[in-house]
Every structure is written in C-alpha cells, then in structure tokens.
C-alpha cells in the first residue's frame, strides 16, 4: 500500500496538470481513502501521505496551462482551497505560538489576513491600470488593437500578459472592446467597463480611456498618501481594549472585590467599575454564549461579504443582488447619499458632454449614461429622465422632475444656455469632481479626530473603572495607619 501511495503522489500531480477538472473532483476522495488505509497501519504515515497527495495535486492544478477564454473553474477552486488551507494553518500556528489564550494569536492572524487582502486589492488595481494604459496607448497611436496587445504580451507568461492575450483573442473573433474586456478580463473594474461601453457607442474611446487612466492614477495617488490613522485602527484598538478588559475582569476584579469586602463590608464599588463588571459578567456567565455566537456569525458574514464585494467587479448592465442592496443602503444614508450622487454626476456629465460633442441627440446621450457604473437608485432617475425626454417634455424640466438636480437641468436650459450644453457640462464635470474630492478630504479630516477622541474616552473610562477601586483601597489603608 505504501508503494501505491508513492505512485499516486507522482501520478496525480501529472493528472492535475493535464486534466485539472478530473483531478480536482477525484483527489479529495482518493487522498482520504489512501490516508485512511495507511492510518490503520501507521497514523503518522497516513496523515502525511493523505495531505501530501491532496496538496501537490492542488498545486499542479494551479500551475496547469490555461488557454485564453477557457473554463478556469478548477484553477479558481484550487486557488481558494489553498488560500483557505494556508490561512487555517497560519491561525493554528499563531494560537500555538502565542499561548493558550490565543488572544494575541487572533490579533496577529487578523492583521496577517488583512495584509494579504490589502495586497490582493493593490495587485488587482495595478493589473487593471496596466491593462487600461496598454489599450489606451495602442489606441492613441492608431495601432491595430489585437496586434498591439499581442505584441505587448509576447515573450512573457505572467498574469498581465495572459489578460492581454485573452482580450486579444476575443477582439480577433469580432467582439467590441468592452465585450472583449468583459470576456477576457472579468475582474476589470466595473466603472472602467461601463465607461468604455458608453464611449464605444459614440466613437469616443480615446477620450474615455484617458479619463479612466486619470481616475486610476488619482486613486493610486490617494492610496499612497500618508494618513494619520489607518481605517482599521479603531477596530484593532477596540478589540485590544476588549480583550484586556475581559482578562482583567476575569482575574483582577474579583480579588479587588474581596479586598474591599475585607476592609469594609459597607464599601461600595464605584459606579464605572460596577457597570464594567456587569457587562463582563453578562458575557461570562449570563447569555454570553448567545452574544458571542451572534457576534461571531455577524463578523464572519460581514467579512466574507466585504471581501466578496471588494474582489468581485460590479456589473453595470446587470447588477448583482448584493450590489443592488448596497446601492439602496448607501443611497438612503444621509451623508453617504451626497457622495454617491456627486460621484455619479461626475460620470454622467462627462458622458453627456462626449455624446453631444460626437453629434448624438439628447435622448441618445442620456441613453448612453445608462451603461455607466453608477448607483442603481441614481440609474432609475436617469431612466425616468430619458422616458420624459422621449415623451417630448422639456429637457431641463424633465431633469428637475427626475431628481437629477438644478445644475444638470441648467446645462440643458435653452433660455439660459442656448446651444451651449457641452461647455456647461464640462464646467459642471470639473465642479462636481472638485466638490467630491473636497468633501471626501473634509469628511476624513473631521472623522478621524472624532474617532481619536472617542477612543480616548473609551480607554479613559476603562482606566478609571479599574484604578478607582485601587484609590479607594489606598485611602482605607491610610485611614487604618493614621486614624
């Protein structure tokens, strides 16, 4: 049986490289069966060979050759299984290294996983910027796009070259650029795909891609700025304070209470200490298990959903259910709604200007905005505006009645701006973009000091709740010595 296990350890990676789907479906059963048979004779050998067969098969599937446009679900499944296994091993090692309580192991594991996610998002953004810039450079030089992409990808076998070859394959088959990007590069950001699709209809690809490149550069520069606080700092600080409080209330506070009782049976514990003890005792001895269960499920669900949303591009033409729910929530939040509306107006004003400059009618220009990656609630207002304009209603009045704002309606007001809509739209686009950037920075500069003050109050309350009994004990001891 040991000889058979060694043979499988050699054969199955080859099968995973040649036939990834078959190897992925059969390797779990085969590795479990082989490991169980060997486990009966020698537990260590069974565990070792069972895990080794499965692991090397997954690695071989991940390294298997992929044709552009081919179904890659075995590689995707193998990648996520390997990531999950590595995270589990890392968390287990953290718990083993940082003590039986595992508190620091949890914090260290969360920080490590957060760093990996942050690196993955930065890598995706860099790949998207490279692909869009390569396409934009080829278009600006009036080069045949399939030939230019093939030339840019030649001589390399990295992920970026595979993306370019995949897009080039669909272009050769006769698909338009936006559809080729959707098929060959599904992870391309939704706002870029939406802008390209809208620009293709009006033959304004160079200007649209230039705008997308500028937007990507601005986002990259924003991410490189030095910030006084990281967005994860409040969460890390609250978690750290909670674990410290949990440990102190479990081991220190009962001793303080016994000391106070011995000094004076009428001694009254300070109110902040009683409140803190009530919270921790409820978590320890009351319905704490239910709180921990609900909190754990909520945190895990939220983390999975956030990671899924951040790593999955949006679909402007056919939004996901999670995108619709998220857009609805953001649209109805008091402050977030303003940012969503301004960001959508920036893209709408740009496409309207490009469409009118290209000779499109007003209803055709409005129809082009429906391909943009904007908030789904805002897109409904655009559809309402289009329906009113197609019904023959005044363009400016229809924009006001659809809830698109007075400024956008003013751009199409023939009495105030006769035949001058493109120029006004260009001015509005710049105004919207500047206002959006200013409000984002203003909100950040207001929010972080408030977060810092709140965290300081929380830490101060915890410190006072723990040190006030000590002060009481010192006073009582002083009265015993000096009556």
Across 88-92, 129-133, 479-483, the highest mean pLDDT is recorded for: 129-133
**Residue 321 falls within a domain, yes or no?**
no
Cβ–Cβ < 8 Å for 205, 199: yes
211 pLDDT tier (thresholds 50, 70, 90): confident
- Whichever domain contains 353, its CATH number is 1.20.81
Residue 314 DSSP one-character state: P
Residues 271 and 340 grouped into a single domain: no
Residues 436 and 468 grouped into a single domain: no
* 252-301 pLDDT per residue, tens: 666 666 666 666 655 567 777 777 777 766 666 656 667 667 776 777 77
**Residue 328 falls within a domain, yes or no?**
no
- Whichever domain contains 184, its CATH number is 1.20.81.30
Q: What pLDDT is attached to residue 101?
A: 47
**Residue 190 pLDDT greater than 50, yes or no:** yes
**Residue 182 pLDDT greater than 80, yes or no:** yes
- What total number of domains does the chain contain? 4
Residues 242 and 307 grouped into a single domain: yes
Task: Give the CA distances from residue 206 to residues 211, 250, 343, in Å, rounded to whole numbers and listed in that order.
Answer: 9, 65, 22
**Residue 400 falls within a domain, yes or no?**
yes
Residues 249 and 212 grouped into a single domain: no
Residues 338 and 304 grouped into a single domain: no
Residues 310 and 456 grouped into a single domain: yes
pTM: 0.64
Q: What pLDDT is attached to residue 67?
A: 52
**Residue 110 falls within a domain, yes or no?**
no
**Residue 50 falls within a domain, yes or no?**
yes
**Residue 222 pLDDT greater than 60, yes or no:** no
Residues 458 and 421 grouped into a single domain: no
Q: What pLDDT is attached to residue 311?
A: 72
205 pLDDT tier (thresholds 50, 70, 90): confident
437: containing domain: 333-442
Residues 400 and 375 grouped into a single domain: yes
Residues 414 and 435 grouped into a single domain: yes
Quickly tell me which residue has 């810039």 as its tokens.
133
Q: What pLDDT is attached to residue 69?
A: 44
Q: Lowest-confidence range among 26-35, 274-283, 431-440? A: 274-283
- Contacts of residue 315, Cβ cutoff 8 Å, sequence gap at least 6: 190, 323
Region of 418 on the Ramachandran plot (φ > 0 left; ψ -120 to 50 alpha; else beta): beta
Q: What's the angle, vertex CA 100, arms to CA 96 and CA 106, rounded to 5?
A: 70
Residues 433 and 457 grouped into a single domain: no
The mean pLDDT of 426-436, rounded to a whole number, is 86
Residues 12 and 89 grouped into a single domain: yes
* 120-157 pLDDT per residue, tens: 777 777 888 888 888 888 888 888 888 888 888 887 77
384 pLDDT tier (thresholds 50, 70, 90): very high
**Residue 461 falls within a domain, yes or no?**
yes
Q: What pLDDT is attached to residue 100?
A: 45
Residues 359 and 421 grouped into a single domain: yes
Q: How far apart are CA 188 and CA 125, in angstroms?
A: 9
Average pLDDT, the chain: 77
**Residue 337 falls within a domain, yes or no?**
yes
**Residue 224 falls within a domain, yes or no?**
no
């Amino acid at each position: 049986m040991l000889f058979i296990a060694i043979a499988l350890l050699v054969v199955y990676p080859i099968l995973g490289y040649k036939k990834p789907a078959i190897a992925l479906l059969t390797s779990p059963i085969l590795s479990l069966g082989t490991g169980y048979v060997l486990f009966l004779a020698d537990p260590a050998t069974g565990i070792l060979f069972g895990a080794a067969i499965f692991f090397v098969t997954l690695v071989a599937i991940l390294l298997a050759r992929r044709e552009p446009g081919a179904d890659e679900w075995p590689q995707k499944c193998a990648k996520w299984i390997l990531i999950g296994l590595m995270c589990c091993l890392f968390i287990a090692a953290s718990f083993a290294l940082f003590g039986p309580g595992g508190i620091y192991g949890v914090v260290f594991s969360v920080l490590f996983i957060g760093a990996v996610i942050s690196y993955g998002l930065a890598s995706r953004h860099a790949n998207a910027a490279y692909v869009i810039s390569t396409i934009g450079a080829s278009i600006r030089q009036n080069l045949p796009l399939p030939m230019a992409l093939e030339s840019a990808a030649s001589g390399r076998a990295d992920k970026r070259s595979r993306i370019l070859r995949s897009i080039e394959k669909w272009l050769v088959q006769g698909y338009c650029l936006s559809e080729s990007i959707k098929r060959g590069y599904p992870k391309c950001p939704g706002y870029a795909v939406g802008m390209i699709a809208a620009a293709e209809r009006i033959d304004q690809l160079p200007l649209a891609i230039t705008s997308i490149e500028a937007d990507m550069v601005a986002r990259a520069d924003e991410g490189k700025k030095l910030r006084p606080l990281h967005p994860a700092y409040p969460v890390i600080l609250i978690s750290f304070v909670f674990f410290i409080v949990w440990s102190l209330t479990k081991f220190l506070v009962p001793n303080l209470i016994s000391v106070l009782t011995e000094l004076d049976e009428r001694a009254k514990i300070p109110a902040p200490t009683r409140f803190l003890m009530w919270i921790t005792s409820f978590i320890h001895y009351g319905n704490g298990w239910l709180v921990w269960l609900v909190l754990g499920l909520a945190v895990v669900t939220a983390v999975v959903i956030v990671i899924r949303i951040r790593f999955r591009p949006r679909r402007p033409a056919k939004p996901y259910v999670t995108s619709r729910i998220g857009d609805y929530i953001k649209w109805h939040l008091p402050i977030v709604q303003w940012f969503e509306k301004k960001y959508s107006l920036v893209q709408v004003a740009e496409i309207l200007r490009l469409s009118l400059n290209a000779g499109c009618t007003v209803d055709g220009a409005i129809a082009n905005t429906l391909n943009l990656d904007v908030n789904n609630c805002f897109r409904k207002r655009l559809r309402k505006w289009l329906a009113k304009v197609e019904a023959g209603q005044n363009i400016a009045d229809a924009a006001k009645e659809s809830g698109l704002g007075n400024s956008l309606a003013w751009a199409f007001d023939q009495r105030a701006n006769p035949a001058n809509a493109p120029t006004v739209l260009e001015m509005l686009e710049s105004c919207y973009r500047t206002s959006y950037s200013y409000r984002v920075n203003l909100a950040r500069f207001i929010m972080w000091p408030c977060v810092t003050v709140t965290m300081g109050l929380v830490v101060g309350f915890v410190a006072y709740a723990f040190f006030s009994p000590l002060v009481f004990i010192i006073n009582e001891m002083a009265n015993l010595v000096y009556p």
